[in-house]
């Protein structure tokens, strides 16, 4: 027991040892068991290029809390871990590594490059796994998956072929995000929007056949080479007469039509906008409605192409912008230049400004696939915690565009499309075809592109359980239960998993999406390399322990909200772990070697009943909070109970009986039994949040049990409910606090003992105080604790402490400064006067009385009655002191 516990808690020594024990005993592992109800979570797979950051730490801590909680509740809890191949990010890493060796990836070719990438994955891909283990996460490492392992790759191939055969996947030209440096298309998830200072260039577009012109404002003048129309609003009276006419496109010999389209905001700017279908997603849609040509003016490296560039051909886009603006000015087309700050998309990997371009790519038709995902929210089959994220989810789905799934890189799932070398026929198949079904040619070339990383991670909840095979795991553990993720990837990942789940399994992949916010620095800023404000979770773990980090991340954390990270909070969390450790050592040192039995009559001991009842209420409250995903609230309640009620009050309350065990063995036994049983329940409630310190203590407290994490979660027990004892204890605490406050205000040292008188007319309270007498003497630094119904025998100069339903008197004749006591009572009189005025004000307010809940009104009436009772006692005491001093 206590001899196995070090004097101080040392997480560095304890955490690795415990984690190894958990893994060795397969406590995290789950197998199909039809006699138990499953609870499944799939880990959002971190990139193999990544290392643990605060976002990972928060996300995985929340998942671990849920899985440990459900495991203790008896569920067959499965948490599937894994990593994502992170296509573009990994390709960049390996390409840069090759560059350092003086090797161009194009020189070694695709196969050799992929060999190097797999080598890189084996060497560095497991970094984040080892780091996650330091956090204490209890996922099933035996089931670890990778988005490019054999099973997941088979699922990706199956889905592509299935969607292609059903007509949902097609190859066509549409606007996509293009990175000119990485030379690949990007998903929306790979584009970061940042505020950049720029300009609005106002340009004249002459109306052909007139002396008039339209004034157009643009932030990207270089794209005007690809303009194919000017659009105005159909109801804009200013322009109705010119719709159908044409404009001269400056710097070119082309004329472009003026069209009417409801896309235009007639209140913004001049109410006329240039339409460049090949370089803007909104313009692309306008172009489709008016059958406008799509003129792509750029090469893949964002230089102006020869076909449409004229004198600007070969220039970089920004070089061309500068040259064109100069020419516009010289030729009289430039009206003005206005500074303008706007959001610009950049590639999240190389930070290059992304160029919207029309490209031949593979797409998924989204309109029909989105419908079941929309319906899931509307029917309640899927819910978000908190609910406000429903709107974001629905807005995106209801305005969804076709999804560009092809990438111009080598690392990833290669598209299973094959082109006939003779006639160009496209064949989508699991293997390269032997004969072209159209011309009979036997030579094919596979599509060079790979699939968007999100295409594989969209299948994660079911591909990790064996789909497309009809496995027992899939049948038992799927659909999963909860997805835990940040609000920043609702669109990119959550939505894709939901519609993929319906499309391929007929079910939503999970019933709840638990959304958390971002971890920000102490100033509320997003952590980033550029700001240099990132905090390494591993450094925090090394210094304070994993439990302290976990507690800091969860305390005060409400679903969906960002949180600020303070080192002071980590220190406070570490201090709490030490508090629990020290209190537990004290308990075990005193029960060691004793045969502790259940009390014969617990009702006879109000202190024991109180802490048992408070613990019982805590079990109920925390369980309700956990079920509502209010993890921060649940942890705060456990913290408050352990620190305040259990350690600071009950242990102190029990000390007299423990220290005087020889005088009353039964009383000592009952105190020790209560300490042990309440500590056991408290450790169970604490375990999901702080698994290491709770496990280490529990294994010493209950060495006969295999592990705390495999023990049963506490449940509310009516036999542990003692409301009367709670009432007695709360009054008792008020008395002790009052005496301590008086002594502190008067600087009376604890070595100076004095009698404490409690005057109370309530017989039940008096009996309870009598039962707690010896503890009160210790806790109030008294030499006696006397309970009576009137002031008989109490000196007139005794200091009074007014508490609800009782008055406490402490005769300190030789220690008291009467003027000081008068001043203290006057302050109390002033405080109570304000409280009574506030209560009267509320109760005399018709709006409050008529609109507030009846319970709230009654609560205020009860407060007023209490304040008035206390005021009477204060005034009585003041009058007594005045008489004494006169």
pLDDT at 832 over 80: yes
User: Quick count: other Cβ atoms within 10 Å of Cβ 392?
Assistant: 16
Closest CA to 728 of 716, 736, 739, 720: 736
Could you tell me if residue 677 is inside a domain?
yes
Quick one: pLDDT band at residue 601, thresholds 50, 70, 90?
A: confident
Q: What's residue 814's pLDDT?
A: 46
Query: Is 289 inside any structural domain?
Result: yes
- pLDDT at position 815 is 56
Query: CATH no. for residue 585?
Result: 1.10.730.10
Q: Are residues 702 and 624 in the same domain?
A: yes
Find the mean pLDDT for residues 568-596: 94
Question: For residue 509, how many other CB atoms are within 10 A of its CB?
Answer: 27
Same structural domain, 706 and 794: no
Same domain, 716 and 583: yes
Confidence at residue 451, expressed as pLDDT on a 0 to 100 scale: 96
In a domain, 82, yes or no: no
Distances from the Cα of 225 to the Cαs of 216, 254, 336, 588, in angstroms?
A: 14, 9, 19, 81
Q: Is 122 inside a domain boundary? A: no
Is 600 a member of any domain? yes
| 426 part of a folded domain | no
Per-residue pLDDT tens over the stretch 362-374: 999 999 999 999 9
What are 190-242's pLDDT values in tens digits? Answer: 788 888 888 999 999 999 999 999 999 999 999 999 999 999 999 999 999 99
Q: Is residue 445 part of a domain?
A: no
| Token pair belonging to 608 | 């024991």
In sequence order, the 6+-apart residues with CB closer than 8 A to the CB of 3 are 592
Can you say how many angstroms the Cα of residue 2 is from the centroid of all Cα atoms in its chain?
37
pLDDT of the residue at 626: 98
State how far the alpha carbon of 799 is from the alpha carbons of 715, 771, 812, 823, in Å: 45, 24, 7, 12
Same domain, 702 and 800: no
235 shares a domain with 324: yes
What one-character-per-residue DSSP string does 842-869 give? HHT-HHHHHHS-HHHHHHHHHHHHHHHH
Instruction: For residues 305 and 351, state if they share a domain.
Output: yes
| 651 and 715 belong to one structural domain | yes
Residue 137 is assigned to a structural domain of this protein: no
Whether pLDDT at 1 is above 60: no
For the chain, the average pLDDT equals 92
Of residues 686, 692, 683, 688, the one with CA closest to residue 547: 692
Give me the pLDDT at residue 481, please.
98
**Cis preceding linkage at 468, omega within 30:** yes
Domain assignment of residue 251, given as a range: 184-356
User: Token digits for 807?
Assistant: 């008055």
Q: Which of 80, 84, 83, 71 is nearest to 142 (CA)?
A: 80
In the chain, the number of structural domains is 3
Domain boundary among the residues 322, 356, 390 is at: 356
- Closest residue by Cα to residue 560 from 611, 491, 632: 632
Which is it for strands 213-218 and 184-186: parallel, antiparallel or unpaired? unpaired
> Residues 510, 480: contact at Cβ < 8 Å?
yes
221 & 349 share domain: yes
Helices 606-627 and 631-640, axial angle in degrees (round to 10)? 170
674 in the same domain as 790: no
- Listed residues 356, 378, 402: the one ending a domain: 356
- With cut-offs at 50, 70 and 90, classify the pLDDT of residue 880: confident
What pLDDT, on a 0 to 100 scale, did the predictor assign at position 532?
A: 77
Task: Establish whether 529 is an annotated binding residue.
Answer: yes
Flag whether pLDDT at 4 surpasses 80. Answer: no
Which structure tokens are listed for 119?
């080598």
Helix residue spans in 485-630 (DSSP H): 495-505, 537-544, 546-554, 567-591, 606-627
* Amino acid 337: pLDDT: 94
């Amino acid at each position: 027991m206590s001899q196995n516990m070090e004097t101080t808690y040392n997480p560095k020594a304890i955490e690795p040892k415990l984690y190894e024990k958990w893994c060795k005993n397969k406590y995290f592992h789950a197998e199909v068991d039809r006699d138990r109800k499953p609870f499944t979570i799939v880990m959002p797979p971190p990139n193999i290029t990544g290392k643990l950051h605060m976002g990972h730490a928060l996300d995985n801590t929340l998942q671990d809390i849920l899985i440990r909680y459900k495991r203790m509740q008896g569920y067959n809890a499965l948490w599937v871990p894994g990593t994502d191949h992170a296509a573009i990010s990994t390709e960049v890493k390996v390409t840069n590594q090759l560059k350092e060796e003086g090797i161009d990836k194009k020189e070694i070719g695709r196969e050799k490059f992929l060999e190097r990438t797999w080598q890189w994955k084996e060497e560095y891909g497991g970094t984040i796994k080892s780091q996650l283990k330091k956090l204490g996460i209890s996922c099933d490492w035996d089931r670890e998956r990778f988005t490019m392992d054999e099973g997941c790759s088979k699922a990706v191939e199956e889905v592509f072929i299935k969607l292609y055969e059903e007509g949902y996947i097609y190859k066509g030209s549409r606007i996509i995000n293009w990175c000119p440096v990485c030379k690949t298309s990007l998903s929306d998830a790979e584009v970061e929007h940042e505020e950049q200072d720029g300009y609005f260039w106002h340009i004249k577009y002459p109306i052909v056949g007139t002396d008039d012109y339209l004034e157009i404002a643009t932030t990207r003048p270089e794209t005007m080479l690809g303009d194919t129309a000017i659009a105005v609003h159909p109801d804009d009276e200013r322009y109705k007469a010119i719709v159908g006419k044409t404009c001269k496109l400056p710097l070119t010999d082309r004329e472009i039509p003026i069209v009417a389209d409801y896309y235009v905001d007639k209140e913004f700017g001049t109410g006329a906008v240039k339409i460049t279908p090949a370089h803007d997603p909104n313009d692309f849609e306008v172009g489709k409605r008016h059958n406008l040509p799509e003129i792509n003016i750029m090469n893949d490296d964002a230089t102006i192409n020869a076909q449409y560039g004229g004198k600007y051909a070969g220039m970089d886009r920004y070089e061309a912008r500068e040259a064109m603006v100069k020419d516009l000015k010289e030729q009289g087309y430039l009206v003005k230049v206005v500074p303008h700050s706007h959001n610009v998309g950049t590639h999240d990997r190389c930070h290059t400004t992304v160029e919207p371009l029309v490209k031949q790519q593979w797409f998924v038709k989204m309109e029909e696939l989105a419908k079941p995902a929309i319906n899931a929210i509307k029917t309640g089959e899927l819910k978000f915690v908190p609910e406000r994220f429903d709107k974001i989810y629905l807005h995106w789905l209801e305005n969804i565009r076709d999804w560009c799934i092809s990438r111009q890189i080598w690392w990833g799932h290669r598209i299973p499309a094959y082109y006939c070398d003779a006639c160009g026929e496209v064949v989508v198949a699991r293997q390269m075809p032997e004969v072209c079904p159209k011309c009979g040619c036997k030579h094919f070339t596979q599509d060079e592109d790979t699939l968007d990383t999100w295409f594989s991670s969209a299948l994660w909840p079911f591909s990790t359980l064996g789909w497309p095979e009809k496995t027992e795991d899939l049948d038992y553990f799927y659909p999963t239960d909860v997805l835990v993720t940040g609000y920043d990837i609702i669109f990119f990942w959550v939505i894709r998993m939901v519609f993929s789940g319906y499309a391929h399994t007929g079910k939503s992949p999970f019933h709840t999406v638990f959304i958390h916010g971002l971890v920000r620095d102490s100033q509320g800023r997003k952590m980033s390399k550029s700001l240099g404000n990132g905090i390494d979770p591993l450094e925090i773990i090394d210094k304070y322990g994993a439990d302290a980090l976990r507690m800091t991340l969860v305390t005060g954390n409400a679903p969906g909200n960002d949180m600020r990270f303070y080192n002071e909070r980590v220190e406070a969390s570490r201090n709490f772990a030490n508090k629990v450790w020290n209190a537990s050592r004290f308990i075990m040192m005193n029960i060691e070697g004793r045969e502790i039995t259940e009390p014969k009559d617990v009702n006879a001991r109000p202190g024991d009943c109180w802490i048992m009842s408070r613990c019982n209420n805590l079990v109920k409250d925390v369980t309700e909070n956990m079920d509502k995903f209010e993890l921060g609230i649940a942890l705060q309640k456990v913290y408050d109970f352990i620190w305040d009620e259990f350690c600071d009050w009950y242990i102190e309350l029990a000390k007299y009986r423990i220290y005087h065990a020889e005088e009353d063995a039964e009383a000592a036994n009952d105190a020790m039994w209560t300490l042990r049983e309440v500590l056991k329940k408290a450790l169970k409630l604490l375990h999901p949040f702080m698994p290491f310190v709770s496990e280490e203590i529990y294994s010493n407290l209950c060495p006969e049990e295999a592990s705390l994490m495999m023990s049963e979660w506490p449940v509310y027990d009516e036999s542990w409910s003692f409301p009367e004892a709670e009432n007695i204890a709360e009054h008792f605490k008020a008395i002790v606090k009052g005496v301590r406050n008086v002594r502190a205000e008067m600087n009376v040292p604890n070595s100076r003992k004095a009698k404490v008188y409690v005057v109370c007319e309530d017989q039940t309270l008096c009996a309870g105080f009598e039962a707690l007498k010896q503890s009160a003497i210790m806790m109030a630094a008294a030499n006696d604790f006397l309970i009576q119904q009137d002031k008989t025998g109490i000196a007139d100069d005794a200091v009074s402490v007014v508490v609800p339903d009782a008055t406490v008197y402490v005769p300190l004749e030789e220690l008291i400064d009467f003027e000081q006591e008068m001043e203290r009572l006057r302050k109390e009189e002033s405080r109570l006067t304000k409280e009574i005025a506030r209560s009267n004000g509320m109760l005399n307010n018709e709006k409050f009385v008529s609109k507030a809940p009846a319970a709230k009104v009654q609560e205020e009436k009860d407060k007023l009655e209490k304040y008035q009772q206390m005021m009477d006692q204060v005034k009585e005491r003041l009058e007594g002191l005045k008489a004494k001093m006169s």
